[in-house]
Structure 1
Amino acid sequence: MQLPTPAFEVTQDEAFVTVHVHADIAAATEARVAAEGTTFGCFIEPLYLPLCLPYSVATLHDCIPLCEGSATAACTYDTHTKVLHVRLAKSVHGQVFPDLDRLRPQLLSDEEQAQMERDAACAPASHAYGFGQTDPLPVDYVALVRGGRVPYLDVDDPTQMPPREREARAESLETEKWDEGMYLDNVVDIDGDVAAVVQVEPHVLSGACKASSGAASGPVPPQAAAHAFLVQLLFAYLYELHVSYNDASPESAWTLCKLCRSIACFVEPSAPIAAVLRASYRRALTYPLYRSWALCERVRKDMIRLLQAEDAQTRLLAALQDMDAIFALAPTGTGLAEPVETVLRLIWDFWLAPLQAYVSQAAADEWPALARSLTPPTKEAVGEPGGWDLEVLDMLARESKAEGVGSFV
């Protein structure tokens, strides 16, 4: 998932620092740039340039088409030289930025990088995370946490929060996100949008399915933890295939992360499968656009079909490879790719890669047994905590639909 870096030069005058980015090998049609404080980022698919400047510049978020005559207030693009010129206003007029010719792609200064490495070496994790990981979090990820720039995750530093508090945090956020009007709208489904996504056939279930022949390596998690995480991840993945009509977008990684408690809140995947499935329903009814019990039930049945397939292992590995591709796609939808790439790399390394190693060596009879454990949760169980009386709401929605009421939001 590491993005290639373009060639670049940096110049300055009294008022501006100008970054000249060579886009001669890029095939993209636009460039996205962002600057805040001493941090600068430029994304021109598939290239990404992060820089840590000596001093602060004015905040900038810009997007420019890479075509003849294209220009914005801060950016110009030369189609002959294929160089993008980005002008960053200095926070202090006349301030001299030293050693611009020695800048190299990085988000932290050399001093910050060295200090964080020393801190990490001296501070092992207070609480385990992932599949029992106790090593310090990666330095580049810690930098995002300190800067308050962590996408996708609701708990950004699991080492400082006990597992029970992470689970309580997940329950609390789900309760806060609950929207009765959105739920009723999805039940009534006046335009048939929910019914349409429910009918989508996930591509991982249909036709031949191939996974790469390379064996997964790395630590293998215990069976109970692997099964608990697989259920919530597979639920999120199949949900995304439904709502995206099997056509992933840069937003698809958000769905995978937000519908998994273990990813979004670093909740330990150790609960009984019934509790894991209940949590998946709660997140599907509170975070995404489509908040439908019928869609949750369709996804659960899809999971059973996949796990009962004769080639279940191959299909599971193919699904994990597809998730890797979804993660790689995600940075293309943002102006500052580095935080997204850093977070998704951590998620892959500590969650999906160990699961991939487990699936690769698992016994074939595990999958039908896991499928048999996927019994539907009750609406009463899913609605607490929070007091969501789903049975009553469903009845109200049916009555409203019969009376021609179409919107509750």
Structure 2
Amino acid sequence: MITPRFSCSQSTESVMVSIYCPSVRASDVEINVDETLVTVHINPYFLRLNFAHRLVEDDESSAQYDPGTGYLIVTLTKEVKGQEFPDLDLLAKLLAPRQSEPVSAPTIEVIETSDAPEEDTEELIRRTNGLTLEQEEILQAAENDWQLPQAVPEPLPPLHLTTTKFYGFLDMHSGYFTHVSHTENEVNELGTDVESCPVEERRTRRLKYEEEKWDAEYYMADFADDEHIQELLVWQHPYLTQDGDPVYTEAENMIMLRLPRKEYMPTADQQHNLYLTLISVLFSYAYDARTTLHDPTSESAWTICSLTPAFSALDAPPYWQAQDQPLSSGEAVFSTEEILSTLVQSYRRVLAFPLYRSFVLADSCRMDVAKVLSRGKRMALRCLLDLKKILDHHDIYYVYSKIWVDDLCVWIQTLGSDEILKGLAKTIEALRLPKSAVGWDLEELEAVVLQTAERDSDSDDDTGE
């Protein structure tokens, strides 16, 4: 069955679903309403939508088909008149399956119980009398409070039933890099071991590779000759200059319709870490958008993937491990340390890999991320759709769209919270990341450049005299 293009709107009393299904027979349409679930079937199209509140089919409901335009307009009555239906523009959220009800009652019931018969008691006595000598000693020790020698058992090594390692969104993916040796994947930092590399080893290799790629002279050259970088700093993203919520284009709606139909049930810790990953991904997007003036080039896919540790080394946040207890359900408290550690990884990548390696440029990207998050999940989704389009059009790096970006686009619509995103935005905006945090002597290198420039200036003055 084909999922048709559609859009939703509402009035105070009804919800209207506009479905594009050209060249069909209007008499064959089947519409079913089950509380919040609405299904529309008209061969070869099938659409199932799950709304936030209940709808009913009554005399005021209707379905009208216009053969000229190919649109079927389905009007359904709200059970509670005047009730606001949220997120009608988030198509993936409407297409997501209805949440299953949690099991609250016990699933095992004791029908009856009875005392053990006398013959069972005698059998137990007979078996006890047959204890070995070692077992008798243990019983006597317990009875007389003897102190038998004891030792703390050695911890068992982690049990791995398979050599397969998982990665990507919620560690749901594997097998995407089986033939990586036959592709020109310049982003992959794990080599041919990418499918079998443990999580701890991924981070070790990433940090080692960053140290190898760090070039102090390159940084000093960009710091000394920063005329073009200064031009990039004053640029503003066109999305962030518009007021109100973004209105998705037809192309963006089509991308959302092609997203996978998945239902995610992350734990509180996983949900927490996904917000941190979102910060890292949006930072890479912000760098590419700023350095290309929002006009992606053939290098944009490489830039985005290289700046995102979750892509290049399959190393997703958290990068700073709190000593607190695991998060309780629904908790969304982010410490300054873990947000700082997430941004530090992005700053390091900016200073080690792309064309423009500037700390102040990385700082501008941080502020771009804060502005995007302050506009809520709709703006974050729009940026993710931009990023997805860039990766999908690349012959090799599209794989990172499959293992991360597709799922992030669905997740932000269905489980993302505007309140949490705006809280993160405030923290990121107020954060001041010291240059020493990246682990390289940036201030010393900058001081050398400034001293050299001052000495050259003095020398020119002497020559002029």
Matched, 1:160 2:224: no
The corresponding residue for 1:323 is: 387
The answer to whether the 8 A contact 1:124-1:134 is kept is: no
Distance 1:370 1:167 in 2: 25
Distance 1:323 1:235 in 2: 11
Of structures 1 and 2, the one with the larger relative CO (CA 8 A, separation 6+) is: 1
State which of 332, 349, 355 in structure 2 corresponds to 1:289.
Answer: 355
Matched, 1:223 2:276: no
1:108-149 Cα shifts (integer Å, max 9, x gaps): xxxxxxxxxxxxxxx9553221134355414xx422x24264
TM-score, normalisation: structure 1? 0.59
The corresponding residue for 2:435 is: 379
The corresponding residue for 2:166 is: 128
Q: How far has the Cα of 1:293 moved from its partner? A: 0.5
1:324-363 Cα shifts (integer Å, max 9, x gaps): 22123434xxxxxxxx2xx41x211211112112211212
Where does 1:69-218 land on structure 2 (aligned, <5 Å)? 126-133=164-171, 136-138=174-176, 141-143=177-179, 145-147=180-182, 149-156=184-191, 157-189=193-225, 192-207=227-242, 209-211=246-248, 212-213=252-253, 214=256, 217-218=261-262
1:298/1:273 CA distance change after superposition, 3 Å: same
Give the root-mean-square deviation of aligned CA atoms: 2.3
State which of 281, 288, 291 in structure 2 corresponds to 1:243.
Answer: 291
- What SS does the aligned partner of 2:446 have? helix
Distance 2:173 2:346 in 1: 28
1:219/1:258 CA distance change after superposition, 3 Å: farther
The corresponding residue for 1:358 is: 411
Matched, 1:392 2:444: yes
The corresponding residue for 2:311 is: 263
Deviates more, 1:368-377 or 1:238-247: 368-377
- What SS does the aligned partner of 1:365 have? helix
The answer to whether the 8 A contact 2:169-2:408 is kept is: no
Distance 1:125 1:357 in 2: 29
Amino acid at match of 1:267: D
State which of 301, 319, 322 in structure 1 corresponds to 2:367.
Answer: 301
Amino acid at match of 1:133: D
1:219/1:172 CA distance change after superposition, 3 Å: farther
1:82-118 Cα shifts (integer Å, max 9, x gaps): xxxxxxxxxxxxxxxxxxxxxxxxxxxxxxxxxxxxx
- What SS does the aligned partner of 1:269 have? coil
Amino acid at match of 2:294: N
- What SS does the aligned partner of 1:183 have? helix
Distance 1:330 1:224 in 2: 30
Distance 1:219 1:285 in 2: 38
Structure 1 or 2: more strand by fraction? 1
| Gap runs ≥5 in structure 1 | 1-122, 332-339
The answer to whether the 8 A contact 1:125-1:136 is kept is: no
Distance 2:222 2:310 in 1: 26
The corresponding residue for 2:8 is: none
Distance 1:132 1:306 in 2: 23
Q: How far has the Cα of 1:167 moved from its partner? A: 0.7
TM-score, normalisation: structure 2? 0.53
Amino acid at match of 1:363: S
The corresponding residue for 1:335 is: none
1:373/1:165 CA distance change after superposition, 3 Å: farther
Distance 2:443 2:408 in 1: 36
Q: How far has the Cα of 1:240 moved from its partner? A: 0.6
Amino acid at match of 1:203: P
| Identity, % of aligned positions | 25
- What SS does the aligned partner of 2:394 have? helix
State which of 347, 351, 360 in structure 1 corresponds to 2:400.
Answer: 347
The corresponding residue for 1:275 is: 341
1:363-389 Cα shifts (integer Å, max 9, x gaps): 210111112332233222202xxxx21
- What SS does the aligned partner of 1:366 have? helix
| Gap runs ≥5 in structure 2 | 1-160, 320-337, 458-465
1:19-58 Cα shifts (integer Å, max 9, x gaps): xxxxxxxxxxxxxxxxxxxxxxxxxxxxxxxxxxxxxxxx
